[in-house]
Amino acid sequence: MERDEHKKCVISALTDAQKIAFAPLTFQAVNAMLELGLLKQIDSRPECIYVLKEELNLSEYTVSTLLEVAEASGIVNFNDGIYSITPLGQAFLYDEMTRVNFNFVKDVCYKGAEKLSESFITGEPKGLKAMFGDAATIYPYLSKLPQDMKNSWFEFDHYYSDNCFDIVYKIITPVSQIFDIGANTGKFEKVCRKYNKDINLTLIDLPQNIEVIRNDPELAGCKFHAANILEEADNLPEISGAVVMSQFLDCFSPQQIKFILEKVAKAALDDTKIYILEPFIDRQKFEGAKLSLVHTSLYFTCMANGCSKMYSFSEMETIIKDAGLKVNAVYDALGAHDYTLLECVKNV
């Protein structure tokens, strides 16, 4: 009996191993089924291959080969000669997270992922460097990406940028003033001003980004501070009230994060609240969300910068302590993607 159990476990492991071994082909088969309209057609009405090939003007070879893969992968069911879609198959058609993740991997990561080992060994995004030899990070090259790649990058960025700013605003206010490090397009500031037109806001970002947002009429009255936070020479303004870093620290390595937090601490008063908003690997309700986060780390490795990742709460807490700060409060499960807001202060 125990032997039977062991055998079952081994067979199940071997099945799962073949799923991973052939995974790139499964992935591209799903893509072909989406591009050729096969999944959509089966979703609209279960059909046999002979009807499907007529309706879609595809060869029988195309339809049967793809649907055999789909059936073995749980994307369609096959009964009495008729293919019907499963909930898994429908996810590729209707679920926005799935669609965005899929296109991001297809257009942004697929090719570069071949350079993963090399990227880890060198600490450089070798997938990106295969496209742009001089690139240290992807950010200055975003406008130069091929169109599909650019679209999928921005869709991914946009999808995961629902930063639950309304909730964050309510948690951190009232406060005398807010400093937003890595302010990007000023999305958070626009939310703040929705609630309080006169709130004192300072946006901190790279000089080239500050140039872009400085003249946004919706940000009129805000202060702007241009700095490369990783540069020793670039100082922060004196900070009081609250500092916010929203999905900012995951673009940096642990060493860089420590450097940034130390710099923030130096500029801050003892009672300044330092807020970190991140989706943490170990604070996810859904397994699918955790899967997305840990794999997004690999994008950072081979395509974005070669050194950053999505962090776990426990990793971040260690870095926070190393930087001379402490976590005062933890606000979990914020927004659609289970973000966590950490409230930190100087450990004095």
- For the segment 61-90, give every residue that binds its own copies (CB under 8 A): 61-62, 64-66, 68-69, 71-74, 86-88, 90
Q: Candidates 58-66, 200-208, 233-241, 270-278: pick the segment binding its own copies (CB under 8 A).
A: 58-66
The nearer residue to its own copies, 10 or 330, going by C-beta atoms, is: 10
Out of 47, 83, 102, 320, the residue judged to bind its own copies by CB under 8 A: 102
Q: List, in sequence order, every residue forming a beta bridge with 275; answer none if it has no partner.
A: 244, 343
Handedness of CA 217, 221, 226, 229 (dihedral sign): negative
Which residues in the 212-271 window bind its own copies by CB under 8 A?
253-254
Q: Which helix (H) or strand (E) holds 85?
A: strand 82-85
Which residues in the 28-57 window bind its own copies by CB under 8 A?
28-32, 35-36
The nearer residue to its own copies, 97 or 167, going by C-beta atoms, is: 97
- The per-residue b/e assignment along 160-174, b for 16 or more CB within 10 angstroms, e otherwise, is beebbbebbbebbee
Report the nearest approach of its own copies to the CB of residue 114 (Å): 6
Helix (H, G, I), strand (E, B) or coil at 330: strand
Out of 109, 320, 334, 345, the residue judged to bind its own copies by CB under 8 A: 109
The two structure tokens encoding residue 182: 């890595």
Out of 43, 55, 95, 157, the residue judged to bind its own copies by CB under 8 A: 95
CA distances 72 to 26, 65, 103, 272, Å, are: 10, 11, 22, 56
Which residues in the 293-332 window bind its own copies by CB under 8 A?
294-295, 297-299, 301-302, 307, 309, 312, 315
The nearer residue to its own copies, 110 or 331, going by C-beta atoms, is: 110
- Specify whether the backbone of 338 is left (phi greater than 0), alpha (psi in -120 to 50) or beta: left
Report the nearest approach of its own copies to the CB of residue 127 (Å): 10
Amino acid identity, residue 121?
I
> DSSP label at 240?
-
